Amino acid sequence: MASLAHALEQLLLPAECLVCHRLLGRQFSDDLVCRVCRLRWRPVRPPWCERCGQPEPHFGPCRLCRAWPGALTVARSAVWLEGGARRAVHALKYDGLSRVGRDMAAVVAKLVERPPAEAVLVPIPLGAKRRARRGYNQSEALAAALAQLWGLTNRPELLVRTRDTPTQTALTPAARLANVAGAFAIQNAELRMQNGSRAYHSAFNILRSPLVLIDDVFTTGATLAEAARALANAGCQSISAVTFGRASIPDFT
């Protein structure tokens, strides 16, 4: 089914870059964003807060990550959310192009340090309604591609969103925190094994691994912090976070 959807997408899409509309060579026809555009995406670089990766100059303790749960020790983003990178996120989120996740993951894998081999990726879940409307979860698409590139396990079933939270776009940092409070929970999952049999996979076992939260965009970190809080409350002791994009926060000084 996935390969049929892939083949249909290939037929329907012209083989041109999503951002600059340059025609893609046949060997790159699986890409949605050309290599030139990807190289233009501006990496987030140090100096930054060692914990949250925010490159603002800091005098005294960082305000952005001071209220994070202790288990969330580090967050990094690959590129600034601007220009073509913003266009790619938009395509992933709103244009039904889950395959852009692979192009974005390639850039993340190049710019962000690979987590340790025992780490498990955990994409930030969507609420049930939003997921149904979109047909997929964009963070899950990104995490699946990253898991492949990094050779790590991806566990999209571990974390669930207990309610559909309103979109964060228009909210101040404080309002964002309130908006996502208590929005996540852990679930045990029945997993389909490779040989077709089913096994009950206890969330407890996964929580003993270092977990890496995956999201498309980091704005204030409120969503990541809240997801980390749910994982920490369930017993996870080592949590980090990786996002593709980082948005600058206009009202954060």
* Tokens representing residue 173 in the block: 């940092």
Taking Cα atoms as reference points, which of 228, 244, 236 lies closest to residue 68?
228
Question: Nearer to Zn ion by C-beta: 128 or 174?
Answer: 174
Question: Nearer to Zn ion by C-beta: 17 or 152?
Answer: 17
Hey, CA dihedral for 69, 56, 121, 98, is it positive or negative? Answer: positive
Question: Nearer to Zn ion by C-beta: 24 or 143?
Answer: 24
CB of 86 to Zn ion, least distance (A): 14
β-pair partners for 242: 76, 214
CB of 16 to Zn ion, least distance (A): 8
Positions in the binding site for Zn ion (CB under 5 A): 17, 19-20, 34, 37, 49, 51-52, 62, 64-65
Question: Nearer to Zn ion by C-beta: 4 or 39?
Answer: 39
CB of 176 to Zn ion, least distance (A): 16
CB of 71 to Zn ion, least distance (A): 15
Question: Nearer to Zn ion by C-beta: 19 or 121?
Answer: 19
CB of 246 to Zn ion, least distance (A): 12
β-pair partners for 192: 198
Cβ-count burial 122-151 (b if 16+ within 10 Å, e if not): bbbbbbeeebeeeeebbbbbbbbbbbeebe
